[in-house]
Amino acid sequence: MSKQQKNAKPSKQETISANTLLAEERKLKILEELHAKGKVTVAHLSQSLSVSEDTVRRDLRDLAQANKLKKVHGGAMPFSPTTQPYTTRKLQDQDSKQKLAEVAAQLVQDKQVILIDSGTTCLAIAQNLRIDLEATVITPSPHVAIALAEHKSVKLILIGGNVNTEDMTVVGATAFDSLNKIRTDLCFLGVCSIHTSIGITTTDYEQAQLKSIIIENAAKTVATATADKLGTAAAFHIADTSVLNYIVTDATDATGGLEPYRDLDIQIVEV
């Protein structure tokens, strides 16, 4: 190799390619750490990746735009898995949802006033209630109402209002007003994301309002959550995680980090 070849500088195109590769490697490491720890901070990533905090912020911005994570102040959280339309979600994780629903349905007792929220797991809970159950069931979900049509001893109340066809639930002022007049013994909450410090969150503003009212007017609140929903965050805050009385989940201490939820005095029902 000649002296000229040894001293040759990388071309502009070669530099761009190297920088792109490095950026993709950084982003992969960010996602790996996020999956392992449940959250990442800009300061820690800057130190561990040996890049500036501005570079980390740009990487987080790019990953957030690609729906790979959710940016929060000072870092990032895992992105909520509940981003697909209702008809798509209904076909996902059916076995897991069925197992959660079978266990959750056992929390219902005769003579109770219960509310079953919208969502595919909540629908499965309705389908798993005893056929001879004697209770009052309130729901903002047309699908849940249809599932309970054959339960002759159930007094069924379908909340009226505007139908959000993306999530197949009733929302809006009429629904909010109706729910504010009802006190329930037990509610089953449909959730997108649960995090010990960020709280219970969802991807829709009106649904966040609706779910907040549901929790406020329930004596006890049950959240059913597959493992991928724990430790994640969505855009709209519903309530602090500490309001939950039960979390029914297929997560374990090894996979879902359940101890922080127990520290909030939440009863964890592992499926």
Q: State the pLDDT at residue 157.
A: 97
Instruction: Share the mean pLDDT of the chain.
Output: 86
Q: Give buried/exposed letters for 112-146 (b at 16+ CB in 10 A, else e).
A: bbbbbbbbbbbbbbbebbeeebebbbbbbbebbbe
Structure tokens at 142: 């047309």
The CATH topology of domain 3-78 is: Arc Repressor Mutant, subunit A (1.10.10)
Band (pLDDT 50/70/90 cuts) for residue 235 is confident
Residue 16 pLDDT? 43
What residue spans of 114-238 are helical by DSSP H? 120-127, 142-147, 173-179, 205-216
pLDDT tens track for 135-152: 999 999 999 999 999 999
Give Cβ neighbours of residue 108 (< 8 Å, ≥ 6 apart). Answer: 114, 129, 130, 133, 135, 186
Beta bridge partners of 171: 162
Per-residue pLDDT band at 4 (split at 50, 70, 90): low
Domain range summary for the chain, segments of one domain joined by +: 3-78, 86-270
pLDDT tens-digit series, residues 21-49: 588 889 988 988 886 676 789 999 999 89
- CATH topology assigned to domain 86-270: Rossmann fold (3.40.50)
Q: Which of 82-86, 121-125, 230-234, 252-256 has the lowest mean pLDDT?
A: 82-86
- Fold agreement (3-78, 86-270): no
Rounded to whole angstroms, the Cα distance separating 45 from 89 reads 33
pTM of the full structure:
0.77
Q: What is the pLDDT of residues 205-224, one digit of tens each?
A: 999 999 999 999 999 999 99
